[in-house]
Amino acid sequence: MTSPTDQRREGALVLFSGGQDSATCLAWALERFHRVETIGFDYGQRHRVELTCRDTLRDGMAQLNPLWAARLGPDHCLPLATLGAVSDTALTREVDIAFASDGLPNTFVPGRNLVFLTFAAAVAYRRGLKHLVGGMCETDYSGYPDCRDDTIKAMQVALSLGLDRRLVVDTPLMWLDKAATWRMGEALGGLPLVELILEASHSCYQGDRSKRHPWGYGCGECPACELRAKGFWQYRDTAYVAETT
């Protein structure tokens, strides 16, 4: 078994979209591993603005903590237009977000995380990084089957076998709700990190950064905005209770 001290000598590649979850995962990895690189994917998503948030978040985290700055390595951004071309969803087409008869929202891009993890594993292999870190979460994602813990564990096994090299897929948010994710951010980097993630991360499916709410930018109406707002207010309420008791 790898001890925490050994693990700190290992490297990690963070699946970094520029959203709240992956930003928190980047801070988690910077605190844990001695070398951390990031990877993002451009698959023609409507909320491509999230990709432009990535540099701001990376620079901001490096400024927050000199140790994080020393550990933060290069960013990789891969064009995956083919994924957008084969998926007819509300994330890649100008259609309203709705729920299909199988209960899944039409924001579901089939196999998206399977594709992302496979490309990330190829880059990690080449860069000598043992860990992949992703913000997949079973608790309050919209039921996407490729975010489930079983799926991720199966991918870890398949990728390790297929590359003939031990690869670990870390999902620190898997069992957290959004309020707990904000709390994790605060524990990792204090209120300055919470402020950075609020200001610079992007969650809105509509790609709207024209409206600033207390919980960040977004249209305020799409499922991603609703989830982000709900989690933020829950986090703020519990923080307020903790301060006053």
Q: Contact residues for Zn ion (CB under 5 A)?
A: 204, 206, 218-219, 222, 225
* 36 or 225: CB nearest Zn ion: 225
Structural contact between residues 46 and 205, judged by C-beta atoms closer than 8 angstroms: yes
* Residue 86 beta carbon to Zn ion: minimum distance, rounded to whole angstroms: 25
Q: The tokens of 231 are what?
A: 């989690």
* Residue 18 beta carbon to Zn ion: minimum distance, rounded to whole angstroms: 14
In 3D space, the residue among 245, 197, 199, 239 whose CA is nearest the CA of residue 26 turns out to be 197
* Residue 23 beta carbon to Zn ion: minimum distance, rounded to whole angstroms: 17
Structural contact between residues 77 and 209, judged by C-beta atoms closer than 8 angstroms: no
- Strand, coil or helix: what is 168? strand
- Give CA–CA dist 32/227, Å, rounded: 28
* 73 or 223: CB nearest Zn ion: 223
* 189 or 218: CB nearest Zn ion: 218
* Residue 218 beta carbon to Zn ion: minimum distance, rounded to whole angstroms: 4
* Residue 91 beta carbon to Zn ion: minimum distance, rounded to whole angstroms: 12
- Give CA–CA dist 135/22, Å, rounded: 5
- Give CA–CA dist 25/28, Å, rounded: 5
- Please report where in the chains the tokens 């957290």 appear, as a residue: 176
- Strand, coil or helix: what is 108? coil
Q: The tokens of 48 are what?
A: 């491509």
* 206 or 238: CB nearest Zn ion: 206
* Residue 159 beta carbon to Zn ion: minimum distance, rounded to whole angstroms: 32
**Torsion-angle region of 64 (φ positive above 0: left; ψ -120 to 50: alpha; else: beta):** alpha
